[in-house]
Amino acid sequence: MIKSATALLLPLMAASLLLVAPSPAQSPWSRIPAPDDLPNDRPLRAGFLIVNGVYNSELMAPYDILHHTVFHTKPGIEVFTVSPDGQPVTTFEGLRIQPHYGFDDAPEIDILVVPSAEGSMGADLQDEGLIRWVRQTGLQARFVVSLCDGAFVLATAGLLEGRSVTTFPGDQDRFAATFPHLDLRRGVSFVHDGMALTSEGGVKSYDVAMYLVDHLYGERVARGVGRGLIIDWPPAAEDMPALVVER
């Protein structure tokens, strides 16, 4: 009788465990496939545009995230900085940075990252050489990424045409007035539409970079990167509202 009762109870216990077991974490957005032609014989190259007045947060948050991929997948992402003339720049907060390259000698870029800078809504948009380089480089890249007001630079370079975008919340009215034909989205941490990823910036700059790692390499790699930087991944929908456009 004891053996018989135990035999009856075990399936019931197993079933109850299945009912209360936590379900796997779900991404707050619809996952879209990564490009099927990513190189496997070299790292992806992420080039960060830096100019005088670039903001520390928008530069270093995605730089750290993308760099840490090399510890969790091979070949991962190679990160480097590019200034217009290859000369040092001073960030808005006063850090002095020696870039890896200038416009003339920068290698081919797979992921062009444009952090916000003090002149992103003014002087930088009037710099024809800078805008020309952003346009040419972005058109050849697999992805273009803007943080905060870097979206103004991408838009001026014509790289956001026909796409949904976002930018720093305090400058969204100005963006809408300057680029009324673009589909500006408010209340989201970032937008991914085709080759363009645009972010609100600030601390949200981590969000879009983590998302890009997940998009390129999958959740396992993103979890590893997040673990090293104490970032929970994947996030809950309420913690990271985002728009991912499926095309």
Scanning 2-110, the segments in alpha helix (DSSP H) are: 2-20, 56-67
Could you give the 3-state DSSP secondary structure of residue 106? coil
Please state, as a whole number, how many other Cβ atoms lie within 10 Å of the Cβ of residue 188: 18
Domain residue extents for the chain = 40-245
| CB-CB contact of 83 with 16 (8 Å) | no
Give the pLDDT band (50/70/90) at residue 26: low
Average pLDDT over residues 118-133: 98
Which residue is listed with tokens 């390259």?
Answer: 101
Residues 110-120 as b or e (16 or more Cβ within 10 Å = b): bbbbbbbbbbb
- Give me 233's structure tokens: 């991944």
To the question of domain 40-245 being in CATH 3.40.50.880, the answer is: yes
Q: Is the pLDDT of residue 4 over 70?
A: no
- Give me 112's structure tokens: 């062009």
Q: Is the pTM of this model over 0.85?
A: yes
pLDDT digits 0-9 by tens, 151-193: 999 999 999 999 999 999 999 999 999 999 999 999 999 999 9
Give the pLDDT band (50/70/90) at residue 140: very high
| CB-CB contact of 167 with 154 (8 Å) | no
C-alpha distances out from residue 247 to 143, 162, 163, Å = 15, 12, 11
Bond before 88 cis per omega within 30 degrees? no
- Give me 17's structure tokens: 């465990």
